[in-house]
Chain A
Amino acid sequence: MKILHSWLKDYMGDATPSVQEVERIMTFSAFEIDGIEPVGVADAVIDIKILPNRSSDCLCHRGIARELSTLTGTPLSHDPFSLTPIMPETDRLVISIENGEYCRHFDLALVTGITVGPSPEWLASRLEALGQRSINNIVDATNYVMFALGQPLHAYDADKFKKDENNAWHFGVRMAKVGEAIDTLGGVRYELDPSIQLIVNGADDSPAGIAGIKGGQYAIVDAETKNIILEAGNFDPVVTRKASQKLKLSTDASKRFENNVASKVVPYALTEVVALIIKIAGGNVEGFAHARPKTMENTAVTIKKRNAEALLGISLQTETIEGIFTGLGFGYAKKDDGVFEVTAPFERTDILIEEDVIEEIGRIIGYDKVTSVMPETVPLTHINVRHYYSEKVRACLLQLGFSEVITSSFRAKDEVQLQNALASDKSYLRSTLATNLLEVLAKNTPFTDLLGMPDTRIFEIGTVFSKTDAGVVEHVALAFGVRTKVAGYTPKDDALLASVVTEVATCLGVPLHETITQGVAEVQFTNLYLSLPLPLAYEAVSKALPISYVPFSVYPAMSRDIALWVPEGTSAEAIESILNPSAGPLRVRTTLFDEFTKDGRTSFAFRLVFQAGERTLTDGEVNTVMETVYEAVSKKGWEVR
């Protein structure tokens, strides 16, 4: 919710905290701040992340001001909810509501003799600061009061709204009919069904708006409008939410109703918008009408001081608690010692149980008052068998040169399809690990020189999904695979794999019952570990070494081999200390791959691997580097073979 700092002054006056103070107070006692944008030299828009439990009362400037008032301990200088709305009735407005659970309040006002025109500068600039386009003084006034008090409003042109046989304006609220449709503001047409609630013209039953979501084109206010009817309703959160989701139409209005804005805000907002319109567009109020089948009342919540202390871990004084209730504007009655009956003000529809009140106490007193307590240490009562044996398999495979991967659970095509995947390449779930590992092997074989590995060996332990008659089922799978050749699978891979299967089976002490596909073995690991003896304790975890990750180059590496004769007794390290500096900064790895001694001389063969961070290397430039290496070697008197 975007909050304009200067707007808060309407309610807080000189006691309005500075932007920085608002940020600090909100962050530690109420809400996260998503951002602050300066407006001109002296003002700012503060973007406050209002969470679902407070979206009923805090999606507006008055709500945020009320919150700041509580948290700074200064009463509001002007509270629109403290005035009693004066609403003389007129019989020229008639309301009929089909379902009083779905439409809890529906109030109307008739204002005649207005002049539609541009909004005054102060109003337009406030809306624009919130990112709202100024349309005209009437529409702007309805939007303005919504951002001020949190109540969505709508204005109709009374002369375009067909009157009934008694010369009255008749508003109906009912569920849509099968096949019914509505053209909304902005000209988009929506097909409706009986789960969607409508505002209709009661004279001819034609749709005038989607209740709680968006106004229709019907009786739209334009430059010629002289007489208007203003509407403030309160609609059921679930009905509004379902309709909004069905129509894929989320609006400022629907967001507020979905979060259960209080029905009692209706008269305050309606009288406020009428007063504002008369101020900026002239005219006279002819009268109001209301239908209020259900008025939301906050019920008293019992709260015990000792329960608050027990949950927060803070000891509390009775006076402190009472002070907090007063600051919040909560009515309270003291019952037995340390027991209160608390009633939240009508706009706070989120205070339902004792814990809700305890949270208010905690955040207002300050969570910095909570002191750390270490739970008493108790012995471990259970060993996770899957984790225990996964660790065992990991240790075994790592030692055999296998590296661990975690691959995507999603596939473009497989057995189990999801209902609502965003991307077509992840609309199915994997039924095996082997298919993923085959792809990962192919991707990694070119990196053997770069990584200093003679071949490619990987494994994964993860969940796979399949379909049965009983529906979707899952199990943990273990898979490991090898590639001995860069070009891809050869039967030689299976021979290597067979020896690894034997080794892993030895580690676990049972046969694996593996399935082999092109150098990849897959094991139903859930069944396997369930058949193994229950472990009594975890193996010790070796202290992890501090590692600082370095982003790797995505460009291909290039290898050059160099073999040379050196006098017997020359160490590989001594040779590398000549090779590496002369190979320069493009060299990323040196691997010794052959060594033998004959007639007082030793032959060493090294593979030098080159790679650049930002580009693909050319043969020519690597050859030039190698010339420098040969030169350095011959200076030492070593013979290149």
Chain B
Amino acid sequence: MKIPAGHQHPLSTMIAEINSIFAEIGFVFAEGPEAELEKYNFDRLNVPKDHPSRDMQDTFYFKPTDAQEPMVLRTHTSPVQARFMETNKPPIRVIVPGKVFRNEATDATHEAQFHQLEGLYVDRGVHMGHLKGTIEYFFSKFFAGDVEVRFRPSFFPFVEPGVEIDMMLRGSESKLANRWIEIMGAGMVHPHVLRDAGIDPEEFSGFAFGMGIDRLAVMKYGIDDIRNLYSGDLRFVSQF
């Protein structure tokens, strides 16, 4: 009997699709280590030591004896922003899909490991309208429909202003359509983050955004328990 083709994991399918959508407008697929220096995960993102903004993310630390500098399992893909800006000059357009970790209890909607998508665009004259336009472009392609986004005020230490982004898919048959869905955090890159990476905030500005790819999978495919994404169970994977 001929072997039927195997099934690709939905996260891989989504990452490939995300990459192709952003590649069309010149966003480079960048990446960085999962075992990250605390410096890049926090300090260089304007999250100082002993500041309450560190409480926003529960962090796994490596043992001090195992690392020359304090090291964490990255809590977000944002450290790649700092790394990329350090070694590249604007204009910068990158996306960073990758695995991240949070030291918290797991349930059907929370995992201690999940995938995030980071986006960063730094150039002369970048403003919040570009953020809105880029996100609308992405979701319109990703959900194959007409997507509108809106901003609400929020706070992330590495951006200023910071916003929460909601999206609405219009005129589609999808269960997601015609209602606002909270989808990601974003904002204009904080001048301290630019400056610390060697970019002059007087000359350049940029936007950054971050969202959970697992959550996108839940929305796109109707997955009921995100732990299935990491269970290795073929009864799950075989549906994709």
Report chain A residues within 8 Å CB of B50: 238, 241-242
Q: Quick check: B229 and A404 within 8 Å, CB to CB?
A: no
Binding site for A on B (CB under 8 A): 1, 3-13, 15-17, 19-20, 23-31, 33-35, 50-53, 55-56, 60-64, 66-68, 71, 73, 91, 93, 99, 101, 103-105, 112-113, 121, 123, 125-130, 132-134, 136-137, 150-155, 157, 160-164, 188, 190-191, 205, 221-225, 229-230, 232-240
Q: Report, nearest first, the 5 A-B pairs whose CB atoms are least far apart.
A: A313-B129, A313-B127, A359-B161, A440-B232, A401-B3
Tally the A-B contacts, defined by beta carbons under 8 Å: 285
Contact of B25 among A242, A377, A403, A452 (CB under 8 A): A377
Q: Which of B4, B23, B26 contacts A401 (CB 8 A)?
A: B4
B77 vs chain A, min Cβ distance (A): 13
For A616, the chain B residues whose CB sits under 8 A away are: none
Contact A355 B160 (CB under 8 A): yes
| Docked-complex contact B60 and A420, CB < 8 angstroms | yes
Q: A312-B128, A371-B129 are in contact. Are A451 and B234 (CB under 8 A)?
A: yes
A367 touches B151 (CB 8 A): yes
Determine chain A's interface SS by DSSP, over half rule: mixed
Q: Is the CB of B61 within 8 A of A418?
A: yes
What residues of B have a CB within 8 angstroms of the CB of A551 in the complex?
Answer: 224-225
Query: Which of the residues B20, B35, B237 comes within 8 Å of A541, measured between beta carbons?
Result: B20
Q: For B71, list chain A residues within 8 Å (CB).
A: 471-472
Q: Is A27 an interface residue (CB 8 A)?
A: yes
Please, how many angstroms separate the alpha-carbon atoms of A410 and B105 in the complex? 14
Give the residues in chain A near B4, CB-CB below 8 Å. 401, 452-453
Q: Which of A358, A418, A470 contacts B60 (CB 8 A)?
A: A418
Tell me the nearest residue of chain B to A372, going by C-beta: B133
B6 partner residues in chain A, CB cutoff 8 A = 397-404, 457, 459
Residue on B nearest A370 in the bound complex, by CB: B128
> Is A178 close to B, CB under 8 A?
no
Bound form: Cα–Cα A129–B94 in Å:
48
With both beta carbons as reference points, the residue of chain A lying nearest to B150 in the complex is identified as: A368
A30–B29 contact, CB under 8 A? no
Q: Check if A436 is an interface residue, CB within 8 A of chain B.
A: yes
Q: Check B127 against A312 for contact (C-beta < 8 Å).
A: yes
Nearest to A473 among chain B residues (CB) is B35
Would you give the shortest CB distance from B34 to chain A, in whole angstroms? 5
A–B complex contacts, Cβ < 8 Å, 27 sampled: A29-B153, A32-B164, A52-B53, A238-B51, A359-B160, A362-B161, A373-B129, A374-B25, A375-B133, A381-B26, A382-B28, A398-B7, A403-B237, A405-B9, A405-B234, A406-B11, A409-B34, A409-B73, A409-B101, A419-B63, A426-B112, A439-B232, A457-B3, A463-B99, A471-B68, A472-B66, A550-B239
B65 CB to nearest chain A CB (Å): 9
Binds B, one of A281-289, A442-450, A507-515, A516-524: A442-450
Q: A362-B161, A378-B26 are in contact. Are A405 and B232 (CB under 8 A)?
A: yes
A258 sits at the interface (CB 8 A): yes
Whether A422 lies near B103 (C-beta < 8 A) is yes
Q: A355-B188, A407-B230, A465-B35 are in contact. Are A549 and B161 (CB under 8 A)?
A: no
Q: Is A454 part of the binding interface, using a Cβ–Cβ cutoff of 8 Å?
A: yes
A623 within 8 A of B: no
With A27-B152, A355-B190, A373-B130 as known contacts, state yes or no: A418 contacts B62, CB within 8 Å. yes
Given the complex of chains A and B, what is the CA–CA distance between A406 and B151 in angstroms? 33
With A398-B7, A410-B112, A436-B232 as known contacts, state yes or no: A259 contacts B1, CB within 8 Å. Answer: no
- Do residues A363 and B161 form an inter-chain contact, with CB atoms below 8 A? yes
Contact A401 B5 (CB under 8 A): yes
Q: Are the C-beta atoms of B154 and A51 separated by less than 8 Å?
A: yes
Whether B129 and A547, one on each chain, are in contact in the complex, defined by CB atoms closer than 8 angstroms, is no
Apart from A314-B128, A404-B237, A406-B230, 14 more pairs, CB < 8 Å = A32-B152, A313-B130, A375-B130, A390-B12, A407-B230, A410-B113, A417-B66, A418-B62, A418-B73, A426-B112, A451-B238, A458-B234, A538-B23, A548-B222
B17, B125, B153: most-surrounded residue (chain A CB, <10 A): B153
Taking CB atoms, residues of chain B closer than 8 Å to A368 are 150-151
A170 vs B154: C-alpha distance when bound (angstroms): 45
Chain A residue at minimal CB-CB distance from B11: A406
**A444 with B234, Cβ < 8 A, contacts A453-B4, A471-B67 known:** yes
Q: Does A28 contact B (CB under 8 A)?
A: yes
* Interface membership of chain A positions 93-115, coded 1 if the CB is closer than 8 angstroms to chain B and 0 otherwise: 00000000000000000000000
Shortest distance between the CB of B164 and any CB in chain A (Å) = 7
- Complex partner residue of B128 from A31, A362, A375, CB under 8 angstroms: A362
A552 on the interface (CB 8 Å rule)? Answer: yes
Q: Is A421 among interface residues, defined by CB-CB distance under 8 A?
A: yes
* Chain A neighbourhood of B155, CB < 8 A: 51-54
Q: Is A310 an interface residue (CB 8 A)?
A: yes
Cβ of A640 under 8 Å from chain B: no
Contact of B61 among A386, A420, A450, A463 (CB under 8 A): A420
| A-side contacts of B51, CB under 8 Å | 52, 237-238, 241
Residues of chain A contacted by B188 (CB below 8 angstroms): 311, 355
A407 touches B12 (CB 8 A): no
- Residues on A with C-beta less than 8 A from B26 are 377-381
What A residues does B164 contact at CB under 8 A? 32
Point out the residues of chain A lying under 8 angstroms from B153, CB to CB.
28-31, 359, 362-363, 367
| Distance from A453 Cβ to chain B, minimum over Cβ atoms (Å) | 7
Q: Once bound together, how far apart are the Cα atoms of A452 and B238, in whole Å?
A: 10
* A571–B225 CA distance with the chains assembled, in angstroms: 40
CB distance from A27 to the nearest CB of B (A): 6
- Tell me which residues across on chain A come within 8 A of B16, comparing CB atoms: 387, 391, 541
Residues of A near B157 (CB, < 8 A) are: 52
A318 in the interface (beta carbon within 8 A): no
Question: Once the chains bind, are B230 and A408 in contact (CB under 8 Å)?
Answer: yes
User: Is there a chain B Cβ closer than 8 Å to A41's Cβ?
Assistant: no
Q: Is the Cβ of B68 less than 8 Å from the Cβ of A470?
A: yes
Min CB gap B229→A, angstroms: 6
When the two chains form their complex, are residues B161 and A416 in contact, meaning their CB atoms are under 8 A apart?
no
A383 to B103, CA, bound (A): 33
Is A326 positioned at the interface, with any CB of B under 8 Å from its CB? no
Does the CB pair A384–B125 fall under 8 Å? no
CA–CA, A588 and B136, complex, Å: 40
Chain A residues, Cβ within 8 Å of B29: 382-384, 387
Which chain A residue lies CB-closest to B192?
A353
On chain A, the residues within 8 Å of B24 by CB distance are 377
Determine how close the nearest CB of chain A comes to the CB of B204; give it in whole angstroms: 11
* Cα–Cα distance between A465 and B101 once the two chains are bound (Å): 14
Residue of A nearest to B126 (CB): A375
Decide: A417 and B34 in contact? CB cutoff 8 A.
no
